[in-house]
Amino acid sequence: MVMVGLPCGAEEKFVNLFSGKDLSGWVNVNGAPETWKLGEDGVLRCTGLPVAALRTVRQYENFVLELEWRHMKAGGNAGIFVWASPLPATGQPFLRAIEVQVLDNGYDVKGRNEWYTTHGDIFPIHGHVMKPGGRASGMRAFPAAEHSKSSPEWNSYRVEAKDGNIALFVNGQKVTTGSECRWRKGYLGLESEGSPTEWRNVRLCELPGSGAGEAESAPVMAAGMLPIYTGTDLRGWAATKGTKETWQVQDWQFTGTDPAGELTTEMDHAGGEYVLDVKGPDALPETARVVVSQKGRPLIMSSDLEPGKWTRFRLDEKGVVKGALTWNQEGVVERVLPTKLEAPVSLTLHGGNSFGNVFLRAAGQLAPEGAKPKE
């Protein structure tokens, strides 16, 4: 049964989730350094580029979240991630989460009111599970009424989340519910999805937990895992063979169109850990080709990939692990490949393949959660 009106009416129970000065308490998961900026007026401004997420440092189980948002362009798209994973799902820019839709009501393409609306849908993405309340399409819950205001007016959302149940209030009216969510504990996030958006008065009232176990909770991510691909350009990378022009930046992913091209990180750390997603061409070469290397040593080969499918790898001094940190797939078996990183840490990506979700945690240089990647 979904709750109605959780007891968080007293002002003193709410805590502002933004300091008013910077993004401390938050992690720029996979955006560019300029994607999210907190103004002196307390308004968080999002460029919408790339498709990415900003999430909390810590996890939450039961809570009431209140905030205001507005789109700066008609038809703008964004979202709120509830009980989310710390990194994006494999081969996706989105966190595994329950998404609360933040979509301007000027957005109108084929399918509206059949498989989506524009004023407060709630739905699970990339492995999450939810039982929708009221009118629905699959696991996607539709709002009972439309109360949103058009761009550039402000809208208020209140999200009540308790024991795996979730309810959304739009401009003071309860409109959408869901229940039996898995996970029911995780990170909170805001979504960048192609259009400039503003957020303000983001505050939370945390409620007592009810003991969500490991299977009911998102994995905990240690501090210091920062994006080293901006999603907007190839800053921080050098073309060691060929030119940068042979690499196509496609929002959260980039592809080397020249099989002979090489792109190498400009970073030089004593050691560290990489996480990255790789997709080979639909027809892999008959003879194994190098996909990722370090100092001329092959780390990942085309034979480690499936044709046309994304695979996640974790690379560190212990070896290369295939299938690591997938989170959106059940029953994934991790396989340790017979290669290890050597200091100093630097990677070379080889053309003919697509890459995305490239992260680095530098050994001995663990950045506090919420730190910005090097500009």
Percent of the chain with pLDDT over 70: 91
State the pLDDT at residue 367. Answer: 42
Residue pair 351/258 in contact by the 8 Å Cβ criterion: yes
Q: In a 10 Å sphere around its CB, with 0-12 CB exposed, 13-18 middle and 19+ buried, how is residue 114 labelled?
A: exposed
Q: What is the mean pLDDT of residues 41-45?
A: 96
User: What domains are defined for the chain?
Assistant: 11-216 (2.60.120.560), 226-362 (2.60.120.560)
Q: Is the pLDDT of residue 127 over 50?
A: yes
Identify the three-state secondary structure at position 304.
helix
Instruction: Measure the CA–CA gap between 279 and 276, rounded to whole angstroms.
Output: 10
Buried b (16+ CB within 10 A) or exposed e, 219-242: eebeebbbbbbbbbeeebbebeeb
* Model confidence, pTM: 0.92
Determine how β-strand 226-227 pairs with β-strand 354-362.
antiparallel
E-state strands within 324-367: 335-337, 348-350, 354-362
Confidence bin at 9 (pLDDT 50/70/90): low
pLDDT tens digits, one per residue of 199-243: 999 999 999 999 999 999 999 988 888 999 999 999 999 999 999
Task: Calculate the alpha carbon distances from 289 to 253, 293, 341 in Å.
Answer: 21, 11, 19
In this structure, what token pair is assigned to residue 157?
Answer: 């959302």
pLDDT tens digits, one per residue of 240-292: 999 999 999 999 999 999 999 999 998 777 778 999 999 999 999 989 999 99
Confidence bin at 96 (pLDDT 50/70/90): very high
State the pLDDT at residue 111. Answer: 55
Q: Which residue has the tokens 């080293």?
A: 228
State the pLDDT at residue 11. Answer: 57
Instruction: Measure the CA–CA gap between 139 and 141, rounded to whole angstroms.
Output: 6
- Which residues, 6 or more positions from 331, have their beta carbon under 8 angstroms from its beta carbon? none
Task: Calculate the alpha carbon distances from 20 to 31, 149, 286, 316, 364 in Å.
Answer: 20, 26, 56, 37, 30
